[in-house]
Amino acid sequence: MSAKNGSIKLVAGNSNPALAAGIAAELGLPLTKAVVRRFADMEIFVEIQENVRGSDVFIIQSTSYPANDLLMELLIITDALRRASARRITAVVPYFGYARQDRKSGSRTPISAKLVANLITHAGVDRVMTLDLHAGQIQGFFDIPTDNLYAAPLMVRDIKDRFDLSNVMVVSPDVGGVARARGLAKRINTPLAIVDKRRERPGESEVMNVIGDVSGHTCILIDDIVDSGGTLVNAADALLKYGAKEVYAYITHGVLSGGAATRITSSRLKELVITDSIMPTEAVRNAPNIRALPIAPLIAEAIGRTAAEESVSSLFD
């Protein structure tokens, strides 16, 4: 495959080698030879070992844990490519770190998502491609074109293959995610419920009520990020308390930090389905009730369309 104006080059950082390899395989292209390593004092060194002059380059790099290191890798790779005369640089960031800090949540707090957007833009990136941003308005934080891809079509296909939709109810685990859950419920033509929760302190949540009659239904929780897993576990308990038959969860980004995998495994969730936007830890890979959907085909298709100057939004029509 080649770009409309010049060849396509794929450069991978260290965030998710398996995903990068999957995208390259889908496109039928090799990953560009590059060295991304650390000096003894942990400074990052990058060397692009192929000619990229005039090429349409896509950097595949999520900014997941360790977020600061992987973000710096992305910025330094961008600088190396810019100085090597790449024609266009697209940052493919399946999981965009710092997205949860998208507004001032209190006095004298930062809007870190905007800061990170500025860093990426000023490093020399021409375009950003990401997946299920925590808040859609983050696209406006960039002064360059930004494509926000959606995992919903992948989830819809998986749900249709595995469930009897006549007995399914889509559930938002909090009020803030209603629009996302409503969109998926509309796609599969099922009813919608909402878990109303009160968060007493960061990282903890207390379920207060369930809005909607979930009795006898197979409930599917929908969200963009699962971190500690506390919200999902509490939501599942509440839904079962209110008469749900079984509870599943479909979440785009499986951050699953700390003991989250253990918490999910020991919970009453029948299954947690995530994408491989973030490289899973060993605990996540070994968890019997956590499953990953591959997103390489989706991202590869979007990269191919971007390189050919074709519509990306039509992927989701």
| Helix-, strand-, coil-residue percentages of the chain, each rounded to 5 | 35, 30, 35
Among 265, 296, 262, residue whose Cα is nearest residue 279: 296
Q: Please, are residues 195 and 207 in contact by the beta-carbon 8 Å criterion? A: yes
Residues with active-site annotation: 197
101 annotated ligand-binding residue: yes
43 annotated ligand-binding residue: yes
169 annotated ligand-binding residue: no
230 annotated ligand-binding residue: yes
42 annotated ligand-binding residue: yes
134 annotated ligand-binding residue: yes
DSSP state of 176: G
Q: Is 23 left (phi over 0), alpha (psi -120 to 50) or beta?
A: alpha
| Structure tokens, 124 | 């020399």
231 annotated ligand-binding residue: yes
Q: Distance between CA 61 and CA 93 in Å, rounded?
A: 5
50 annotated ligand-binding residue: no
Q: Distance between CA 304 and CA 302 in Å, rounded?
A: 5
Torsion angle of the four alpha carbons 120, 122, 127, 132, in this order, in degrees rounded to the nearest 10: 30
132 annotated ligand-binding residue: no
Q: Distance between CA 261 and CA 254 in Å, rounded?
A: 10
54 annotated ligand-binding residue: no
Cα angle: 265, vertex 267, 268; to 5 degrees: 120
100 annotated ligand-binding residue: yes
CB contact set of 162 (below 8 Å; sequence gap of 6+): none
Torsion angle of the four alpha carbons 264, 269, 273, 277, in this order, in degrees rounded to the nearest 10: -30
Please report, in range form, the residues annotated as the binding site for ATP: 41-43, 100-101
Please report, in range form, the residues annotated as the binding site: 41-43, 100-101, 134, 174, 199, 223, 227-231
Please report, in range form, the residues annotated as the binding site for Mg(2+): 134, 174
Please report, in range form, the residues annotated as the binding site for D-ribose 5-phosphate: 199, 223, 227-231
